[in-house]
Amino acid sequence: MSLRTMTLAGALGMISFTTDALCQGPYQYQVYYTRDPDAVLDLLFILALCLAALLLVAWLAGWLSSGSSDSPCDCAECVAEREASLMREITKHQEAHSALMRSEIDHARTYGEYRERPEIAEHEQRLRELRSKLR
């Protein structure tokens, strides 16, 4: 007999011994399920793992706040620090813009043509945004 045939015969034999219709002989097999006292703890452990996974996904997605709100602090020190940071950034962009404009003026004097450079427009736009934040 092949392995497949023996497996099929064994499966059919197990089914026939466990069904009530075919077990009318001197032996009757029944399956009893007993409640495991640790099943509740196992279930609670699985629920805790699921909850931890859900919380991790929510935290990674940004649905949970980290305790501090997104609005900035309005104390005098924080306001002064924000204004100082904005002023430093404005100064940096203003210096870069001035350097680009000087190079363009020199180019226009030398070659008699004015060329528009996208970097200058970007610095001007960024300066407008920063100044509007400062007000």
pLDDT band of residue 123 (cuts 50, 70, 90) is confident
Tell me the per-residue pLDDT of 69-115, one tens digit each, with 9 for 90 and over: 555 677 888 888 888 988 998 899 888 888 888 888 888 888 888 77
Please tell me the predicted confidence (pLDDT) of residue 61: 78
High-pLDDT (> 70) share of the chain, %: 75
Q: Is the pLDDT of residue 2 over 80?
A: no
Please tell me the predicted confidence (pLDDT) of residue 51: 92
Please tell me the predicted confidence (pLDDT) of residue 70: 55
What is the spatial distance between Cα 96 and Cα 82, in angstroms, rounded to a whole number?
21
- Is the overall model pTM greater than 0.85, yes or no? no
Per-residue b or e along 16-45, where b marks 16 or more CB atoms closer than 10 Å to that residue's CB = eeeeeeeeeeeeeeeeeeeeeeeeeeeeee
Kindly state the tokens that stand for 23.
Answer: 């077990």
What is the spatial distance between Cα 47 and Cα 44, in angstroms, rounded to a whole number?
5
What is the spatial distance between Cα 54 and Cα 64, in angstroms, rounded to a whole number?
11
Q: Are 64 and 58 in contact (CB under 8 A)?
A: yes
Q: Are 93 and 128 in contact (CB under 8 A)?
A: no
